[in-house]
Chain A
Amino acid sequence: MASINFADLEAGDDLPPRELKLDSAFIAAHANAIDMTAPRFTDDEGARREGLPGQITPGAMSMGLFATTLMAWAPEARLTRLGCTFRSLAHAGIVARICGMVVEVDMPRRSVECEIWMEDKASGDRLVFGTATLQFPDPPLV
């Protein structure tokens, strides 16, 4: 992904959308990596035993995917804040689309506020909604 220039950023700029399949093995591997091994995160059968229709994505994983999306977009910036609301369950098997937008640029502080969300590509339903702050480094002295 091409590097972005802080000076060129404006409110309303879109982040490049990212699509990824939330397949069962992908979710289970990450759930294990973060010690969230409840059956609802590891397999359909376990999730059904817990009263859910099937395996779901941990909210913490959605936050990780948001962070990596933001960091891929602005690799030189530092993520200083990320807030998320888990609105709906992100079921295993869906194709998730992660979208974002710049909502505020603070030129003196060299920081950027973004909205970022995950939607189900098929239905368009927003599953997780978040806001983030990115801090850009000072420009090199000339």
Chain B
Amino acid sequence: MAGSTPGKLTRQALTRPIQTVAKPQRWRTKPRVSFLEIQRAEIGRDYECSVLPPITAEELIEYARTLGIEDPLWLDPEAARAGPLGRLVGLPTFVVKLRGSFYVPPLAASEMSRSGFVGFDGGKDIEFGVPIEPGDSITVRSRITEIYEKTGRSGSMVFLVYRQELRNQRDELIANVDSRMLQKIPPLPTPTVDGDT
């Protein structure tokens, strides 16, 4: 690992205490923090670098099993050893489980933590790298990549796109996961005319 290369993880980065931010736990009816309140300067800046607990074979198998997979290549380490990769690996979309934290605007952290609800999950784009294996220690780096507004038939919405870059202990890319969260923008209050109370 090239420890001095800008943007690359160092051993120190991998072992330093991780930033802890509250994960959203509950759905709420209305977002309390608007994506529009997020400072543009925060776009592109890493807001999180977390090292996740090591991946276990059991969780890779459980992921495959609960998707209805019956092929022993994904369920049985012995069968996987005799397979084309010679070892058990996770299904590529297992990476959806490896969520870091959702972005918490620094100025609104307590409010965000209290409200929990951050928006609807509009979709994801995932670029897959090397397969994930039991014992992998995954580092998640997260940053906002885009905030934009869009108006459709159901009204105006604001989209926040954030990237979670997942790398293993060899600094190999496991995946780039781009998530699109959306919030509906409430309509402006109807203007009152002079004389109205």
Contacts and interface: CB of A to CB of B under 8 A. Distances in A.
B194 interface: no
A50 to B, nearest CB: 4
B91 A67 contact: yes
A50 B128 contact: no
A83 B122 CA distance: 11
Interface residues of A, number: 32
B123 A59 contact: yes
B124 interface: yes
Contacts of A61: 67
Nearest to A82: B126
B interface majority secondary structure: mixed
Interface in B57-74: 59, 62-63, 65-69
Contacts of A63: 93, 96, 124, 126
Contact of B126 (A20, A30, A39, A81): A81
B153 interface: no
A67 B123 contact: no
A40 B63 CA distance: 19
B105 interface: no
A141 interface: no
B26 to A, nearest CB: 7
A65 B99 CA distance: 19
Contact of B121 (A35, A50, A59, A64): A59
A60 B126 contact: no
Nearest to A89: B120
Given A30-B66, A68-B69, A83-B123, A35 B128 contact: no
A11 interface: no
9 contacts: A34-B63, A60-B97, A60-B124, A64-B91, A64-B96, A84-B125, A85-B122, A85-B123, A86-B120
Interface of B: 25-27, 29, 59, 62-63, 65-69, 91-93, 96-97, 99, 120-128, 180
